[in-house]
Amino acid sequence: MVDRRNHHLFQPLLYQVATASLATSEIAWPIRYLLRGRAEVTTLFATVSGVDVQARRVLFDDGDSLAYDTLLLATGARHAYFGHDEWEPFAPGLKTLEDATTLRRRILVAFERAERETDPQRRAALMTFVIVGAGPTGVELAGTIAELAQDTLPPDFRNIDTHKARVVLIEAGPRVLAGFPDDLSAYAQRSLESIGVEVMLNQAVTECSADGVVHAGQSLQARTLIWAAGCAPPPPPNGSMRQPTGPAASRCCPISRYQAIPRSSPSATPSLSPARMATRSPALHRRPSSRDAMSPIASRRAWPARRSARSATGTPAAWRRSASGWR
């Protein structure tokens, strides 16, 4: 196993790190620790820059390489700005631990600056939080930020009323959680609105800046923007790929997007159509249930029980055994 990071990250809980509900150590574990009991697995800390298909070698950015018989690429994803990458400094996404800690700092510092701000308009902008995209990440972030402002922070501030914080969820589509059944989508929207989240549907964002966002032709002043509207393949390491030259150039397949690495004889590997993939993975099409630990509609009341289970057992390994559904 080759990875440019030395830890495994459980991404579904990144939003809880971003909202100060969990520490980073709660959702990330060393890869070597997780695989220490598998003597047949070797873990390498390296950054992959390309693949030499004919020579069957994975190329590293430091000039080294690794031979393979079968290659599986699982490089993850990054957030997509649909051609507006200049928005990223103003509206960061949430895919890595660094993203989560950046958002956590922005959210908490916004309240701290609002505490000292005397101008009502600037204070209102500091206490306005905009999430672009109403998929699972956007819905989770909006709900948790609202709970943070409504339940956690009020006793800690003297000059501001955190209950007045605005949490705005903007979605270009007609409903939240578009990938879920209509009834669950409607239930999620009602739940968000019941805790004060402003849900704006059918409104595409056309501009993000340090002052706020423009959506449906209207400007909204906000100092904290969060992007949860799309995913894309990760960028090449350091922004560029090391391209081989000469005869090796025709054999190298740079990893710049999701792609399959062919065998020496392409005809030896039959293609798998989307229809066949669906029949091979029926569990992917199962209706989500409130009993699913990782379902977006699962009750948040289950989290304290799992966290206390970990503290009672004392070790991450024991905690994972007590919550086997997390594997």
Q: State the CB neighbour count (10 A cutoff) for residue 270.
A: 7
Q: Does the CA dihedral 227-79-142-102 come out positive or negative?
A: negative
Q: Are 220 and 209 in contact (CB under 8 A)?
A: no
Nearest Cα neighbor of 326 from 303, 299, 297, 308 is 303
Q: What residues act catalytically?
A: 140
pLDDT above 90 covers a percentage of the chain that reads 66
pLDDT on residue 241: 39
Instruction: Give the mean pLDDT of 244-261.
Output: 45
Whether the predicted pLDDT of 298 surpasses 60:
no
pLDDT on residue 319: 37
pLDDT on residue 303: 40
pLDDT on residue 323: 37
pLDDT on residue 285: 36
Q: Does the CA dihedral 87-93-96-98 come out positive or negative?
A: positive
* 34-91: pLDDT as tens digits: 999 999 999 999 999 988 989 999 999 999 999 999 999 888 888 899 999 999 999 9
Give the Cα separation of 29 and 293 in Å (integer). 19
* 261-297: pLDDT as tens digits: 443 433 333 333 333 333 333 333 334 343 333 333 3
Give the Cα separation of 204 and 224 in Å (integer). 18
Whether the predicted pLDDT of 312 surpasses 90:
no
* 15-35: pLDDT as tens digits: 999 999 999 999 999 999 999
Nearest Cα neighbor of 3 from 39, 25, 28 is 28
Instruction: Return all residues near 214 (Cβ < 8 A) that are at least 6 apart.
Output: 205, 206, 207, 220
pLDDT above 70 covers a percentage of the chain that reads 72
Whether the predicted pLDDT of 102 surpasses 90:
yes
pLDDT on residue 170: 98
Mean pLDDT of the chain: 79
**Least confident range of 89-98, 166-175, 201-210, 254-263:** 254-263
pLDDT on residue 235: 61
146 vs 321, residue with greater confidence: 146
Instruction: Return all residues near 292 (Cβ < 8 A) that are at least 6 apart.
Output: 298, 325
pLDDT on residue 321: 35
Provide the pLDDT confidence category of residue 124 given band limits of 50, 70 and 90: very high
Instruction: Give the mean pLDDT of 119-140.
Output: 97
* 146-185: pLDDT as tens digits: 999 999 999 999 999 999 999 999 999 999 999 999 999 9
pLDDT on residue 236: 52
